[in-house]
């Protein structure tokens, strides 16, 4: 029996822009996703968000805030995730690094009104479940 896994996604905002990475070598390859990963045993959502952002981008975020949950079924990959989204503000005094180039091709800033079409399923589901003002409310 396949049991759903818990994923964490961290929406990092820099004014009207959001940080997304182009995934590779994993489910959802070549789609754009925020930093994130699997919740580990005993972690809070916030601890996981801070750890995953550090592991993937070398950014140290503080005070991530819970914003939403999505139920994501990857039909072709036969995977099921419950994705927990948190938001954080970009720490301006830090530089983004691609510390896991085997997992992410690159990190890029996207205007919240001009997101790429090929979004990672959990992010796509999040946007579809929220109203059009969601991102504007999130970074303000």
Query: Beta 79-89 vs 5-14: how paired, if at all?
Result: parallel
pLDDT for 47 equals: 98
pLDDT (tens, 9 = 90+) of the chain, 140 residues, equals 689 999 999 999 998 999 999 999 778 899 999 999 999 999 999 999 999 999 999 999 999 999 999 999 999 889 999 999 999 999 999 999 999 999 999 999 999 989 999 999 999 999 988 754 565 566 55
The range of the structural domain enclosing residue 132 comes to 5-139
Q: What is the CATH number of the domain that holds 44?
A: 3.90.79.10
Picking from 99, 101, 88, the residue whose alpha carbon sits closest to that of residue 22 is 101
- Residues 54 and 70: their CA atoms lie apart, in Å, by 23
Picking from 83, 91, 63, 88, the residue whose alpha carbon sits closest to that of residue 12 is 88
What are the CA-CA distances from residue 128 to residues 3, 17, 23, 33, 102 (Å)?
24, 18, 20, 15, 29
pLDDT for 101 equals: 95
Residues whose CB is less than 8 angstroms from the CB of residue 101 and which lie 6 or more positions away in sequence, other chains included? none
> Is-contact 139 109, C-beta < 8 A?
no
- Residues 51 and 9: their CA atoms lie apart, in Å, by 11
- As beta bridge partners, residue 79 has 74
Q: What is the DSSP string of 26-76?
A: STTTT-EE-SEEEPPTT--HHHHHHHHHHHHH-------EEEEEEEEEETT
pLDDT for 118 equals: 96
pTM of the model: 0.92
Query: How many residues in the chain?
Result: 140
Q: How many domains does the chain have?
A: 1
pLDDT for 129 equals: 83
């Amino acid at each position: 029996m396949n049991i759903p896994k818990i994923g964490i996604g961290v929406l990092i905002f820099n004014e009207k822009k959001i940080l997304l990475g182009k995934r590779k070598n994993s489910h959802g390859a070549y789609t754009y996703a925020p930093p994130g990963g699997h919740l580990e045993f005993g972690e809070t959502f916030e601890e996981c968000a801070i750890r995953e952002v550090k592991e993937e981008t070398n950014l140290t975020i503080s005070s991530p805030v819970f914003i939403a949950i999505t139920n994501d079924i990857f039909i072709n990959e036969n995977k099921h995730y419950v994705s927990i989204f948190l938001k954080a503000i970009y720490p301006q005094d830090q530089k983004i690094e691609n510390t896991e180039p085997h997992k992410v091709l690159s990190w890029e800033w996207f205007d919240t009104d001009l997101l790429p079409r090929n979004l990672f399923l959990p992010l796509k589901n999040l946007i579809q479940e929220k109203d059009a003002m969601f991102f504007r409310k999130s970074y303000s």
